[in-house]
Amino acid sequence: MIHRDGSVCDNKLSVFKHFREYPTQMIAYSQLIYPGLLGSLVVLSAMIAYYDIRYFRIPNIATFLVAASGLLWATGPLGQTAFIAIFNGLAGAAVLAVVRWLYAVLRKRTGLGLGDVKLTGAACIWIGIVQLPWLILGACIFALIHICILYITPNNGVHSATKLPFGAHMAAALCLVVLAGEPFGLNAPP
């Protein structure tokens, strides 16, 4: 690679040297990429919510895209390594997998689908395992609002076997946690 001063560099990381020499270009780059990642999160969350409400399924490709964009988000503005971000995702999925298993053992039926578990893992790549309680709390509040709406709607009885699209509530809560956490620095690395 030839630099502006005419020197030749064989280093494959020379692009970072370019950003150190011209930091305003890095700022412009980040001003384009990070809002795009947030926009992709909102669009993917809306798609997941629609699909889960309509079919009670979460598409694997949508979950993968949430995880991939979360990996870019975590390694960019949060400054984490890819290993830490992936570990957060696996830990979040493991927590919800245990909850799913315990519910199945105690109630003798499945309460959470595997799509919810995978979506939680993808969400934890975005927000980290530390904010998982906020994600679950937000999803439960959205689900409670959904149940209240079902309760007051005529001809829609609410009973113990009422199915809820928890992935839709989880996707909405993820957007809320990411977008609300940014101004307050809640998504900043420790």
pLDDT in tens, 76-98: 766 788 999 999 999 999 999 99
Q: Residue 91, Cβ neighbours under 10 Å: how many?
A: 15
pTM of the prediction?
Answer: 0.80
Domain span at 143: 14-184
Residue 40, in any domain of the structure: yes
Query: Which residues pair with residue 2 across a beta bridge?
Result: 8
Report how many domains make up the chain: 1
95 domain residue, yes or no: yes
CA distances (Å), 131 to each of 39, 57, 84, 124, 136, in order? 20, 24, 14, 8, 9
The structure tokens listed for 167 are 């992935």
**Does 138 fall in a domain?**
yes
So what's the pLDDT on residue 156? 72
Q: What is the pLDDT of residue 16?
A: 44
3 located within any domain = no
What pLDDT was estimated at residue 77?
65
Please check whether residue 150 lies inside any domain of the structure. Answer: yes
CB atoms within 10 A of CB 138: 20
6 in any annotated domain = no
Low-confidence ranges of the chain (pLDDT < 70): 1-31, 77-78, 182-190
The pLDDT value given to residue 11: 47
2 phi/psi in degrees, rounded to 5: -105, 125
Structural domain contains residue 139: yes
